[in-house]
Amino acid sequence: MLKVSIHAGPIDSATRFNLLGWVDIGYEKLAPVADYKTYLFQTGVGATIPALIYSYPRWSASLWDLAARAIALSLRTEVECLNEEVPPVRREGKAFAFANQLSAVIEHVSSNSQRRKTLASVDIEQTGRIRGRYIARFTEHTMGLHVTEPFEFRPSFLQPEELLLHACLMRLTSKQELPPRPALCLPDAVEKDGYRYVPIHRLVEPARTGFLQWLNAKRVPPVAHADAKLGLGLEVLYLKFLTEAI
């Protein structure tokens, strides 16, 4: 299961004592194209109705893409809502709510909750003295640092998870909307010595880095090939990676 925890203050000081809420994202069907069941828990409010994310290709985009879709669905009020659209920001009058700094972390939590692995984090803070204007710094285990352009978020009532959602949108599209659904990263295979291989340089991130790390952990080096700078990986292993790797 993935857990997106939202905290008051910077990520370096994130503890259970400044936890503002979290999003749980678990599998309904684990496969290269997976189904997820997700719900949002708001401190002092409780849990939302569970939402389902159908047919989402694993290792096809940033984890913040999946997190953004989970939050967007959880913030909608319809009992059966399959529409991955950003809910409208509530604005009434000229006054607006703001936060000085928020942070969030994405962890993989084992089925028995005994093991946790940090996969991504973000710091969201106001820029200068302009209230309601933010900048976000994203990190991820298979990608480098990504710093957004300054963006405005000025609702009448501040929900931390909604601010996180809008920061994710700036990370993903540089505007306040979700990107198109990512496609499964499955390039055409290369035949060699009777086996089918995936050319690793044709994989998009995060699949490329994730697959190389997974092969390294399995102690299976890529197969050298003149037309593949990063080598070839067995197609059967790549499909196994898409199914089971975290």
The stretch 21-43 carries a mean pLDDT of: 93
- The DSSP result for 109-176, as a single string, is E-TTS--EEEEEEEEEEE-TT-TTEEEEEEEETTEEEEEPPPEE---SS--HHHHHHHHHHHHHHSSS
**Domain residue spans in the chain?**
2-173, 190-244
- pLDDT reading at 18 higher than 60: yes
The stretch 197-207 carries a mean pLDDT of: 94
User: pLDDT tens-digit profile of 133-168?
Assistant: 999 999 999 888 999 999 999 998 899 999 999 999
pLDDT confidence of 94, banded at 50, 70, 90?
A: confident
The stretch 88-116 carries a mean pLDDT of: 83
User: pLDDT tens-digit profile of 33-56?
Assistant: 999 999 899 888 888 888 889 999
- The DSSP result for the chain, as a single string, is -EEEEEEES-GGG--GGGEEEEEEEEEEE-SSEEEEEEEEEETTTEEPPPEEEEEEETTSS-HHHHHHHHHHHHH---SS-----PPPPP--SS-----SEEEEEEEEE-TTS--EEEEEEEEEEE-TT-TTEEEEEEEETTEEEEEPPPEE---SS--HHHHHHHHHHHHHHSSSSPPPPPPP--PPPEEETTEEEEEGGGPPTTHHHHHHHHHHHHT-PPEEETTEEEEEEEHHHHHHHHHH--
**pTM, 2 dp:** 0.90
